[in-house]
């Protein structure tokens, strides 16, 4: 057994709010640490992720659940209209590769899409998901 430091609930709430505001272009963990200038940012992010309020899309970047739900809907719309490419999602979201590539990798891991070279297509399971 190793004691676990307790996360700051006020910091958790502030971080979740900040990520909600950031939408699909959230700051990295390092950027959040610099912005908040507090210790425990990483711990607070992990605590919020454990509750499902935010999701770690990559090791250093967390997204709000609402932002990912919106991205999922865009992927579903795009996939139902044809193949999913970086360019079609860039046109649909206005996001740069910096954010789109990790988001597309997240959609692959979450079972929403399957990658086939430079394109993706919806999984059979995803075709049955209704958009919000």
Sequence-distant (6+) residues with CB within 8 A of 22 are 64, 67
With a threshold of 0.75, does the pTM exceed it? yes
Rounded to the nearest integer, the mean pLDDT of the chain is 91
For residue 96, the number of C-alpha atoms closer than 13 Å in the C-beta half-sphere is 3
Q: In the predicted model, what is the mean pLDDT of residues 48-77?
A: 95
Sequence-distant (6+) residues with CB within 8 A of 56 are 45, 49, 62
Nearest-CA neighbor of 88 among 60, 122, 56, 50?
Answer: 122
Residues 75-84: tens digit of each pLDDT: 999 999 999 9
């Amino acid at each position: 057994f190793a004691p676990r430091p307790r996360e700051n609930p006020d910091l958790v709430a502030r971080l979740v709010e900040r990520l909600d505001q950031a939408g699909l272009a959230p700051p990295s963990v390092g950027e959040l640490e610099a912005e908040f200038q507090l210790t425990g940012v990483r711990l607070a992010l992990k605590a919020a992720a454990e509750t499902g309020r935010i999701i770690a899309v990559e090791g250093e970047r967390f997204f709000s659940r609402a932002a990912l739900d919106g991205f999922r809907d865009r992927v579903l719309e795009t996939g139902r209209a044809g193949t999913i490419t970086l360019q079609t999602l860039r046109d649909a979201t206005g996001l740069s590769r910096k954010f789109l590539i990790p988001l597309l990798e997240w959609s692959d891991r979450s079972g929403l899409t399957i990658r086939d070279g430079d394109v993706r297509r919806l999984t059979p399971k995803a075709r049955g998901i209704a958009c919000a």
